[in-house]
Amino acid sequence: MSDTALLAVLVAAVGGLLAGLAWAAGRGRDERRRRPGFRSSPHYSEGLHALATGQLELAIHELEKVRREHPDSVEVLQVLSHLYREVGKTERAIEIHKALVARRDLTRAERAYALASLGTDFRKAGFLDRASEAYHEALLVEPKNLHALAGQQKLHEDQRQWREAFEIQTRIARMRKSDDALVLGFLQTEMGKEALAAGHRDAAEEAFRTALSLDRRVFPAHLSLADLWLERDPRRAAQVLEDAIAAVPERAYLAFGALQRAYAACGEPERFMALCERLVGQDSRDWRARLGLARQLRSEGRAGEALGLLLRAVEANPHVLLVHLEVWRTLRALAQLGPEEQKYVATVEESALYVDPHICTACRYRADDMLWRCPHCHEWNTLVEERVGPAAGTS
Ligand SMILES: [Zn+2]
């Protein structure tokens, strides 16, 4: 789903939520508290249509017309302010939310929601103190306001206050009755890394173990735990990494470096080759396992065999720059390259910007490496290897 399509769904959801809140609030009150008039405006449907097709500026344009016809409509103001924030006009969003908060005719739910939204405006604009204040006020109005709680949680994450983020996330999970074990596991892992940086090895180990007891798929917890044990007990470290691969096979490549070290420390470097061979056997398109195998072969002076493997990897995954690079390196090791070609390889090695592109499945943010938390949408575990498919019309 594209950024804007996702946003459209989100805003529609917000609109629906607000409508629900307004309806619930209006029930049993006098007639004038219901505010359905704006829905009959043609600009409202135009605005929603623009929103659904990802044309945010057009949606703003139409909804501004609705706002002029129905200046008091809380729903329209809420959706408009979300849109302004999304297109980067945060100051407009702040203006609308401040005006909403100053009104006396809002229901409790509406006021809490407007305050929480104001908090998110401030957070997006980088005013963390004011964001924190607004969320706090929202929670005073409505102590279980999920929007404010989620905002506070993100605010703690932004400031690397992992323990606080963990506590709030636990509350949110309990209130929503949702399974947030994976996110909680990632937060525990960050707590562990922080403990380790402060020299508290036992606390770190405890946190990594807690993370894995929450969810086996918290890959970085396996990596950190293996790192802790690598020197003292490489066999145990290798076991942890093998568990990681069993739990999340598609992330196996992230454990390759550590596994190679662990097996070498055990005096059994051949186990790495066996692992790669097994992975290639399971998935013939697994170019990372082929790459790992080829590198190992080359380091053992078996560059010819490495080249054969890599050529098969190129066939299966022609789009992967890293595989091509490895072919060139192997040719260099086989002394197959003249000075010009060597110069070319050196230039490619230095200038390749997106050697190992990863993309966020939530917001399409692109990174040139694997990250556990998306720096754009701040979600956990959403980055995956970016795969380029064949162009349309090719077989
Ligand atoms: Zn993202």
Mean pLDDT, the chain, rounded, equals 87
Indicate if the pLDDT at residue 331 is higher than 50: yes
Where does residue 364 fall: left (phi above 0), alpha (psi -120 to 50 degrees), or beta otherwise?
left
Residue 257 Cα to ligand 1 middle (Å): 26
Ligand 1 centroid distance, CA of 23 (Å): 33
pLDDT the model gives residue 28: 42
Query: From the CA of 284, how far away is ligand 1's center (Å)?
Result: 29
Residue pLDDT, tens place only, 269-293: 889 989 998 998 888 788 889 998 8
- Side-chain half-sphere CA neighbours of 72 within 13 A: 10
User: What's the pLDDT at 352?
Assistant: 64
Q: Tell how far the Cα of 5 is from the centroid of ligand 1, in angstroms.
A: 14
Q: How many angstroms does the Cα of residue 180 sit away from the middle of ligand 1? A: 18
Q: For residue 240, which of 273, 205, 268 has the smallest C-alpha distance? A: 205
Residue 393 has pLDDT above 50, yes or no: no
Q: What is the pLDDT of residue 13?
A: 52
pLDDT (tens digit, 9 = 90+) per residue, 76-122?
A: 999 999 999 999 999 999 999 999 999 999 999 999 999 999 999 99
Q: Cα of 359 to ligand 1 centre, how many Å?
A: 8
SS3 142: coil
Alpha-carbon torsion angle 194, 259, 185, 205, nearest 10: -50
CA gyration radius, the chain:
27
- 128 Cα–ligand 1 center, Å: 20
pLDDT of 180 = 94
Q: How far is Cα of residue 159 from the mean position of the Cα atoms in its chain? A: 17
Residue 360's beta-bridge partner residues?
A: 383
Distance 378 CA to ligand 1 centre (A): 6
Q: What angle do CA 15, 20, 22 make, to 5 degrees?
A: 95
Give pLDDT, residue 30. 46
> 281: CA distance to ligand 1 center in Å?
32
Å from CA of 173 to ligand 1 middle: 21
What 3-state class would DSSP assign to 89? Answer: coil
Please state the φ and ψ torsions of residue 366, each to the nearest 5 degrees. Answer: -110, 135
Q: How confident is the model at residue 16 (pLDDT cuts 50, 70, 90)?
A: low
Q: What is the mean pLDDT of residues 158-176?
A: 96
Q: Which residues surround ligand 1, an ion (CB under 5 A)?
A: 360, 362-363, 365, 374, 376-377
Backbone angles phi, psi at 52, to 5 degrees: -65, -25
The pLDDT assigned to 351 comes to 75
Ligand 1 centre from 11 Cα, in Å? Answer: 17
For residues 47 and 75, is the Cβ–Cβ distance under 8 A?
no
Measured between alpha carbons, how far is 55 from 361 in angstroms, rounded to an integer?
21
pLDDT of 354 higher than 70: no
How does DSSP assign 298-361, residue by residue?
Answer: HHTT-HHHHHHHHHHHHHH-TT-HHHHHHHHHHHHHTT---HHHHHHHHHHHHH-S-SS-EEET
Q: What is the pLDDT of residues 221-270, one digit of tens each?
A: 999 999 999 999 999 999 999 999 999 998 999 999 999 999 999 999 88
Centre of ligand 1 from the C-alpha of residue 366, in Å: 8
- Of 317 and 150, the one with more pLDDT: 150
Question: What's the predicted TM-score (pTM) here?
Answer: 0.79
How would residue 300 be classed by pLDDT, with cut points 50, 70 and 90? Answer: confident
Q: Is the pLDDT of residue 5 over 50?
A: no
Q: What spacing in Å lies between the alpha carbon of 394 and ligand 1's midpoint?
A: 30
> Measured in angstroms, how far is the CA atom of residue 384 from the centroid of ligand 1?
11
CA of 118 to the centre of ligand 1 (A): 22
Q: How far is the CA of 361 from the centre of ligand 1 (A)?
A: 7
Q: Which pLDDT belongs to residue 6?
A: 47
Separation in Å, CA 192 to CA 170, 196, 312, 328 = 17, 6, 41, 40
Distance 381 CA to ligand 1 centre (A): 9
Percentage of the chain surpassing pLDDT 70? Answer: 88
pLDDT band at 394 (very low <50, low <70, confident <90, very high): very low
Determine the pLDDT at residue 32: 47
Contact 244, 258 (CB under 8 A): no
What's the N-to-C CA distance of the chain in angstroms? 24
Mean pLDDT of 11-26: 50
Output the CA 55–ligand 1 centroid distance in Å.
20
pLDDT tier for residue 296 given thresholds of 50, 70 and 90? confident
- Under DSSP, is residue 383 helix (H, G, I), strand (E, B) or coil? strand
CA angle, 301 as apex, 297 and 304 as ends, to 5°? 70
Task: Give residue 353's pLDDT band: very low, low, confident or very high (50, 70, 90).
Answer: low
